[in-house]
């Protein structure tokens, strides 16, 4: 069928954001309270979770809600090795002023001051230029940045009495420690010095983002931010709703068996749900019903695409020890304790810490709770088990354990794996 109603791909907002109703409801109530009473009612939020669970689309939905009530929304992106968050904000200010945006024009003096203490800026009226983080002026402090944000929020409310300012930052875990420390300090200064300001923050990051904040010198990030972990998989009802509702709005129905097959194949993982539903829709003859046969025809093609574009390239880039570690995790059902992994690999936990940390920072695994580790992509488990022995034969390291050895070392039967896609 033409005109798919599903949106596979990083950051693409689905037609129906299933399983996030409570988060959106709470955020909308918080915006209303801040509009009336100021920052004293604000809860700065960090949505954390593995890749593919919908962090970016949820924070985008936050922005849509805020804009609908009169908020000015500034969306920033943390990028490794690129301009810092303050530079990005100054670029945004420069372009908005040049475009004649009223609130930004009225807050121009505050941003002039901010640019003046940010070395490398060519001057606010002339436009801001990029510069390395190392050139950031020592005079740039949290108070100056907070005052610029308050000035903009105040200017917004001159046009929108119920409005304010929402700042969002995507991929916080890759921001420089300097940026993370400055962000936290700025939000703290807003709390202390500008309790009536209508300024709110929302960010996203991988599960180790709180640890990145602590390493940047932010003490007790859980007190400054509302840390909202997004689950790796959707509940079955939410996953089914994400499949059915976009189709229903266009007059297309899914057979219940077809819905169940998609949910089982992707294990409720949001990114793969969109991919498999899109592949089925595109392949189905239609015109009004999608059947189990349509799903069974489309899934092998979607699974091959997933392996070719995502799982395979990531697997090929991994060092031998990382492949071995992921395989041990897969043997234990995709989730295991540190001691289980050490026994499976016949090594001390301390010997594995550097591999574990590298995989966490890459986003391949995450710690759902202290002492536990989980695969970030459910379908990675059957993939690595199917490809490990071939990779082991080609490995440069002769000390890589075999699948048989790892199975023998495991101290308990492995948990049930997510079903492999065809």
Each of the 422 residues of the chain gets a pLDDT tens digit; together they read: 889 999 998 889 999 999 999 999 999 999 999 999 999 999 999 999 999 999 999 999 999 999 999 999 999 999 887 778 888 898 889 889 888 889 999 998 888 888 775 534 434 443 333 344 444 444 578 999 999 999 999 999 999 999 999 999 999 999 999 999 999 999 999 999 999 999 999 999 999 999 999 999 998 999 999 999 999 999 999 999 999 999 999 999 999 999 999 999 999 999 999 999 999 999 999 799 999 999 999 999 999 999 999 999 999 999 999 999 999 999 999 999 999 999 999 999 899 999 999 999 999 999 988 889 999 998 999 999 999 999 999 888 778 999 999 999 986 554 455 555 55
Tokens at residue 281, please?
């829709």
Which residues lie closer than 8 Å to 304 by C-beta, 6 or more apart? none
Domain ranges of the chain: 21-229, 236-314, 318-409
With H, G, I as helix, E, B as strand and everything else as coil, classify residue 411: coil
* Gap between the Cα atoms of 307 and 316, Å rounded: 11
CA nearest 384: which of 314, 319, 300, 323?
323
Q: Are 187 and 224 in contact (CB under 8 A)?
A: yes
* Cβ neighbours around 415 below 10 Å, total: 12
What is the rounded (10 degree) CA torsion for 358, 363, 365, 371?
Answer: 70
List Cα–Cα distances, 417 to 214, 264, 272, 380, 392, in angstroms: 34, 12, 16, 10, 21
Residue 116 parent element (H or E): helix 108-116
CA angle 32, 36, 42 (to 5 degrees): 65
Query: What CATH code would you report for 318-409?
Result: 1.10.10.10
DSSP single-letter state for residue 198: -
Looking at domain 236-314, which CATH architecture does it have?
Orthogonal Bundle (1.10)
CATH topology of domain 21-229: Rossmann fold (3.40.50)
pTM attached to this predicted model: 0.87
Q: How far apart are CA 334 and CA 72, in angstroms?
A: 42
How many angstroms separate the CA atoms of 71 and 400, rounded? 55
- List all residues 6 or more positions away from 87 whose beta carbon is below 8 Å from its beta carbon: 118, 120, 128, 130, 131
């Amino acid at each position: 069928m033409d005109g798919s109603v599903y949106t596979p791909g990083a950051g693409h907002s689905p037609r129906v954001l299933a399983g996030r109703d409570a988060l959106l409801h709470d955020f909308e109530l918080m915006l209303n309270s801040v509009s009336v009473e100021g920052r004293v009612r604000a809860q700065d939020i960090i949505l954390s979770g593995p890749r593919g669970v919908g962090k970016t689309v949820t924070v985008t939905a936050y922005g849509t809600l805020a804009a609908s009530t009169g908020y000015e929304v500034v969306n920033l992106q943390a990028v490794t090795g690129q301009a810092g968050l303050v530079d990005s904000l100054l670029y945004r200010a420069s372009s908005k002023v040049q475009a004649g945006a009223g609130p930004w024009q009225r807050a121009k003096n505050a941003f002039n001051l901010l640019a003046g203490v940010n070395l490398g800026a060519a001057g606010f009226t002339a436009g801001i230029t990029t510069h390395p983080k190392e050139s950031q002026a020592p005079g740039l402090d949290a108070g100056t940045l907070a005052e610029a944000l308050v000035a903009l929020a105040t200017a917004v409310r001159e046009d929108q009495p119920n409005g304010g300012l929402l700042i969002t930052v995507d991929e916080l875990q890759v921001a420089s420690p300097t940026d993370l420390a400055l962000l936290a300090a700025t939000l703290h200064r807003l709390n202390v010095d500008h309790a009536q300001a209508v300024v709110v923050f929302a960010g996203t990051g991988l599960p180790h983002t709180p640890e990145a904040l602590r390493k940047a010198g932010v003490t007790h990030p859980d007190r400054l931010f509302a840390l909202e972990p997004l689950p790796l998989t959707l509940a079955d009802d939410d996953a089914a709703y994400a499949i059915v509702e976009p189709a229903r709005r266009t007059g297309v129905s899914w057979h219940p068996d077809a819905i169940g097959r998609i949910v089982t194949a992707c294990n409720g993982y949001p990114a793969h749900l969109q991919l498999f539903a899109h592949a089925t829709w595109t392949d189905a003859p239609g015109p009004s019903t999608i059947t189990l046969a349509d799903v069974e025809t489309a899934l092998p093609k979607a699974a091959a695409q997933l392996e070719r574009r995502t799982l395979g390239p990531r697997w090929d880039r991994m060092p031998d020890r990382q492949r071995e570690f992921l395989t041990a995790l897969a043997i234990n059902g995709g989730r295991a304790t540190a001691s289980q992994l050490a026994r499976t690999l016949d090594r001390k936990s301390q010997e594995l810490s550097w591999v574990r940390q590298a995989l966490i920072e890459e986003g391949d695994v995450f710690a759902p709770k202290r002492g536990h580790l989980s695969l970030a992509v459910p379908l990675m488990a059957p993939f690595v088990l199917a490809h490990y022995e071939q990779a082991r034969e080609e490995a440069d390291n002769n000390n890589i354990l075999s699948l048989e050895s790892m199975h023998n070392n495991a101290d308990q039967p492995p948990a049930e794996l997510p079903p492999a896609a065809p």
